[in-house]
Amino acid sequence: MTGVIFDIKKFSIHDGPGIRTTVFLKGCPLRCLWCHNPESQSPRPELMLRPQRCIGCGACVNACPEGAIALQDGRVVTDMERCARCGACAAVCFAEARERVGREVTVAEVMAEVEQDVPFYDESGGGVTFSGGEPLAQPDFLRALLIACREREIHTAVDTCGFAPWEVVDSLRKHVDLFLYDLKLIDEAHHRRFTGASNALILANLRALAERGHAITLRVPVIPGITDDEENLRQIGALAAELGIQQIDRLPYHAIGAEKYKRLGRRYEMEVNR
């Protein structure tokens, strides 16, 4: 069983209880304007460039099977149109100016890394958080990981936007110890406008999980001018109260994603809009 991830971060202390390892699964059905992990959105591998690290050795020029890279006045220029995101250039870029984001990994490979920090989970009441991207977008892979964690008595949290068919959620939920459930906007039209999708499914899934007694922490990204108006926050609070959800975490907005958009050669709409 394999899946596509784009990162594993240890010593996560803000993604569920205790010291955790966060596994970032690649691919997301939403396109939130403020997304700070743009490399997480596409399910396919991508190329990230950090030109300031380039030493101008030219190894990438020779490595590229598409002939998409050229050395001009000692500077490397990449034709992103021709780039197939194969990662051949990144493999020979010792200076790490070119990085292929997204790798296919087996459950065993992920678990080997996850298990390294078991002493920290035990000490702190921590565990693993599956995040993304949207982890529910790779349901079979996620299920296998969750089962592997349970076998090893590692606490699991799933950080989800909730946008997945109920059958998918239903097939996974009994293997999950805690849902970190992102809720952005209650207003359907707003939701559609800023994330590219309706929130009907999200709200229905949330309700269904709550009714079945699952442990849920609501996570609300506080995006200035979008989610932070009083009415939206009040409605989220009311919904939480109705569903008996005790914990609401506000996630402050930060612009660290802006740099990533640049590395991906993409436009950061959030910045453009402001």
Residues forming the site for another protein (CB under 8 A): 9-14, 18-19, 55, 57, 59, 94-96, 116-117, 119-120, 123-124, 126, 251, 254
| Least distance to another protein, CB of residue 196, Å | 23
Q: Helix, strand or coil for residue 155? A: strand
Cα separation values, 80 from 49, 85, 124, 239, Å:
11, 9, 45, 45
- Measured in whole angstroms, the distance separating CA 251 from the mean position of its chain's CA atoms is 14
| Least distance to another protein, CB of residue 13, Å | 4
| Least distance to another protein, CB of residue 123, Å | 4
Q: Which is nearer to another protein, 67 or 119 (CB)?
A: 119
CB 134, CB 163: distance < 8 Å: yes
Backbone angles phi, psi at 181, to 5 degrees: -105, 110
| Least distance to another protein, CB of residue 9, Å | 5
Cα separation values, 244 from 15, 99, 177, 220, Å:
21, 44, 17, 16
Residue 25, token pair as written in the block: 């699964």
- Rounded-to-integer distance, Cα 192 and Cα 194, Å: 6
Q: Which is nearer to another protein, 37 or 232 (CB)?
A: 37
Residue 173, token pair as written in the block: 């939920």
CB 6, CB 112: distance < 8 Å: no
| Least distance to another protein, CB of residue 11, Å | 4
Q: Which is nearer to another protein, 172 or 270 (CB)?
A: 270
